Amino acid sequence: MPRPGPSGPSISRRRLLQATGGVVLAGTAGTGVWAWLSPDATRPPPPAREQESAEEPDEQVFLHVIAHPDDGLFFMNPGLEQAIRSGARTVTVCLTGGESDGRNAPNHTALHDHVVPNRSAFARARTNGLLAAHAKMATGDLGSVWDAEARTLLPGFQVEVQTLRAAPQHQLVFVELVEARAVYQPRATSLRGLWLGVVDALPTLRPEGSPVQRQFRYRREEVTDTLAAILDWVRPTVVRTLDPNAVHSDKKPLPAPDPRLAGLRYFDHQDHTASAHFTQAALARYWGRGRPVPTVVESYLGYELGVLPGDLDPSTVRRKAGTLDVYGWADHRRCADPAGCGDRKVGGTALNGSPRSWTRSTRLRAPGSNSWVRPARDGRLTAFAVLAGAAYGWAETRPGSGRFGAPVRIGGELLQGQLHVVRHPDGALQLFASRTILPGPGTEHRRELVAARQTGTGRDGVPAFGPWESLGSPDPEPVRSLEIGFPAAVAAPDGTVHLFVRTWDGGIGHRSGPHGGQWSPWDRLEGPAGVGTLRASPQIVDGIDACVDSDGLVHLVAPSVRTVQHWVSKEPGAAPRPGATTGLPEPGGPISIVPLAGGLVRIAYRQSGTARVLLAERQRALGTWRVAGQCERAGGYGRVALAPAGGADRMVLAARDDAGDVRVAMAQAGPKPWQRCRLSHSAAAGVAHDAAGRAVLVALGNDGRLYAARQARAGQTAPFQGWRAQTGSPERTGGSG
């Protein structure tokens, strides 16, 4: 197989299916991966549990941008391994050499103190460990051969590119910039110092044996240009970064050599955050050139995982730790490179005996939305997602068809995560999102919430929206605004829209407005009892959700480091107040809530340490919470989608499993068995019921297309049919800004 390169795309297996009745590839030029047609509608697909994956690996391209060699293994796995093993093209870019103190030995040991520092050798040892770990994930053989070369991606600069000979669609790129060499200590010579303009240029440190023969000095624009050049070369459908919105701790900041480096102290490593900022800037530049590829962006928490509940199941944790042990040279295998074959600061210590270790969790900064699929006025289901930093919408071809037409661009710039959609009492929709504003002349780096209201209906039934309106931030100071969470909102029966978001200090910000306009000033909800007592951790963890019950009361739920927090209004449509302590098990991720009949509300979330999906409910008459059921173990992480499924207390729920696929189940008194729907996907799946009362499952595939699966008929026992991909190519209409 030829090595992939800037002008050598692989041949899609989907093309080969044309002769055998598979999905047909439309010949329209310039429409990117949106141009493929759906399966033949005259013959219903088999049940989802019997299907092969609906996606083709050749239509997915993953780009992972990390700061240090082990970042992807600690923070992006199991997603990283799932991407590699899928057969899709995967490229991982490591910005720094990770040379640290140059001692390849466990920290805080006698051996460490006797090792002679050699930063070039340690950087090579870490590279060797990463090559072995990636080879193991890709081929099962940690000794699989890599081909190294020095490549020019930006004129005047070279990077080290490693291509796995047995699987040449898999590559590693090493830029070899100097790392900060400290987690918190403000350092001018660092990615952060370069991002903030404290230094004019950041040098590289050439690892031993690198095919790159000299040192370079990168200015800020040149780091951004290099990443933009990589985006042009790879043309990814999925970009994964570290956390651009790190959460601060209450520890005292350390003295800074320059005022621009002063400020809050954060849980995460400064290189992680700066690498994500540079990637955001590169993406803005890349998208600004009008690229047709629909890019999905996912950002992963870093060291903050060490103070949050573990969210992975034990078997996934063991697999993740095993890969880290390969990287860390834990087996002390014989090594032909004098520099070493791995990072001994990590090898054998991945689990560390701590329930809060980084190995036990994988969390996205944007926790996903439970409200991105909603019925339009005419009964068609509509779905909304962020691609290439902008909002797009889809609509069913007709009410109850289960097939979605072409995506329509609604607009927005540098939107993050998933959209939250509110349906007003009159059936009109309103979109809520989080937006990043990058620094520039006269512009400070900050985040804010934005909204767009429906103004009508466009082509193919997709709602049309007005311009995006800035809703600001409950923390208007720019640095603090970078820590705000992602929105949840509801419309009360009188038309008042309540908007909620996690604040920088771990509380809940709130504002409201009649019919989603004329907004009140930002305020903060009163905190539930017990919140704030664990000062070493964030108080409220992002991953909130809200609903209005059958009596018109507004409910808000949020995960915290201990239990589920709950607010409820005392009068219909009023702002919610702290409810009684729920006493529910500690959540290992976001919480989703739905209203059912009789004032009942039900939530779904993953229990920490097991990843098992729990269902809990609150009855208004008693005001107390109880665990109502638990699903079969399926592993996975992230938000559990939850929606009513027509009548009484029937529900449908969906979640990611330990293979990265979607599982869906019906529930009434308790959950039914999972049905596995093979589709690797981004963020959280969505669930709803259609005009015919059938449960519908939607997901955004890693190829940037919308997929839908629906029940063959309404009811608790009806199976889900196979995935259908959206039809047609994207349209540009709707809102702006």
pLDDT in tens, 620-639: 888 899 999 999 999 999 99
| 490-515: average pLDDT | 97
| 697-701: average pLDDT | 97
Distance CA 242, CA 265 (A): 17
Lowest mean pLDDT among 431-435, 646-650, 658-662: 646-650
* Inter-CA distances, 294 with 32, 35, 57, Å: 8, 11, 16
Asked whether 452 and 735 are in contact (CB, 8 A), the reply is: yes
Angle between helices 119-139 and 314-327 (to 10 degrees): 130
Tens of pLDDT along 369-417? 999 999 999 999 999 999 999 999 999 999 999 899 999 999 999 999 9
28 pLDDT exceeds 60? no
Burial of 534 (0-12, 13-18, 19+ CB in 10 A): middle
- Give the per-residue pLDDT at 292: 66
| pLDDT bucket at 485, cuts 50 / 70 / 90 | very high
Distance CA 506, CA 402 (A): 40
Mean pLDDT of the chain: 90
* Inter-CA distances, 334 with 156, 162, 339, Å: 38, 21, 12
Tens of pLDDT along 546-571? 999 999 999 999 999 899 999 999 99
53 pLDDT exceeds 80? no
| 235-263: average pLDDT | 95
Q: Number of C-alpha atoms within 13 angstroms, CB side, residue 166?
A: 15
Asked whether 579 and 623 are in contact (CB, 8 A), the reply is: yes
Distance CA 516, CA 567 (A): 21
Sheet with 159-164: strands ordered across: 146-151, 159-164, 170-177, 89-96, 61-66, 238-242, 296-300
DSSP class per residue in 461-515: GPEEE---EEEE-SS-SHHHHTT----EEEE-TTSEEEEEEE-TTSSEEEEEEET
Q: Number of C-alpha atoms within 13 angstroms, CB side, residue 180?
A: 24
Tokens of 148: 């190294």
11 pLDDT exceeds 50? no
Which one is predicted more confidently, 681 or 538?
A: 681
Share of the chain above pLDDT 70, in %: 89
Asked whether 25 and 700 are in contact (CB, 8 A), the reply is: no
The top-level CATH class assigned to 67-253+266-360 is alpha beta
In degrees to the nearest 10, what's the CA dihedral of 473, 476, 480, 485? 0
Distance CA 486, CA 542 (A): 7
Residues 6+ away with beta carbon under 8 Å from 698: 373, 381, 383, 404, 685, 686, 687, 688, 706, 707, 708, 709
Tens of pLDDT along 70-97? 999 999 999 999 999 999 999 999 999 9
Tens of pLDDT along 596-606? 998 999 999 99
For residue 278, the surrounding DSSP H or E stretch is: helix 270-287
Burial of 107 (0-12, 13-18, 19+ CB in 10 A): exposed
Tens of pLDDT along 423-481? 999 999 999 999 999 999 999 999 999 999 999 999 889 999 999 999 999 999 999 99
For residue 422, the surrounding DSSP H or E stretch is: strand 415-423
Asked whether 136 and 128 are in contact (CB, 8 A), the reply is: no
Q: Number of C-alpha atoms within 13 angstroms, CB side, residue 293?
A: 22
Peptide bond into 576 cis (omega under 30): no
In degrees to the nearest 10, what's the CA dihedral of 244, 246, 252, 255? -10
Count of positions (residues) in the chain: 737
3-class SS at 206? Answer: coil
- Give the per-residue pLDDT at 110: 85
- Give the per-residue pLDDT at 472: 98
- Give the per-residue pLDDT at 56: 73
- Give the per-residue pLDDT at 45: 43
- Give the per-residue pLDDT at 312: 97
Hey, CA dihedral for 117, 119, 125, 130, is it positive or negative? positive
**What residue type is 140 in one-letter code?**
G
Asked whether 105 and 186 are in contact (CB, 8 A), the reply is: no
Tens of pLDDT along 132-148? 999 999 999 999 999 99
Q: Number of C-alpha atoms within 13 angstroms, CB side, residue 507?
A: 16
Distance CA 331, CA 336 (A): 15
Listed residue (227, 242, 192) closest to 71, CA to CA: 242
pTM comes to: 0.92
- Give the per-residue pLDDT at 731: 59
Which one is predicted more confidently, 11 or 274?
A: 274
**What residue type is 616 in one-letter code?**
A
| pLDDT bucket at 60, cuts 50 / 70 / 90 | very high
Tens of pLDDT along 155-186? 999 999 999 999 999 999 999 999 999 999 99
Cβ burial 651-673 (10 Å sphere, 16+ → b, else e): bbbbbbbbbbbbbbbbbeeebbe
DSSP conformation class of 406: -
| 509-535: average pLDDT | 84
- Give the per-residue pLDDT at 13: 35
Distance CA 52, CA 723 (A): 10
Tens of pLDDT along 309-362? 999 999 999 999 999 999 999 999 999 999 999 999 998 887 776 767 899 999
3-class SS at 282? Answer: helix
* Number of other CB atoms surrounding residue 103 within 10 Å: 21
- Give the per-residue pLDDT at 670: 87
126 pLDDT exceeds 60? yes
**What residue type is 725 in one-letter code?**
A
Residue with tokens 């905190």: 527
Please give the angle made by the CA atoms of 410, 415 and 418, to the nearest 5 degrees. 85
**Domain edges within the chain:** 1-53+635-726, 67-253+266-360, 368-484, 525-630
Distance CA 318, CA 329 (A): 16
DSSP class per residue in 46-75: PBGGGPPPSS-GGG-EEEEEESSTTHIIII
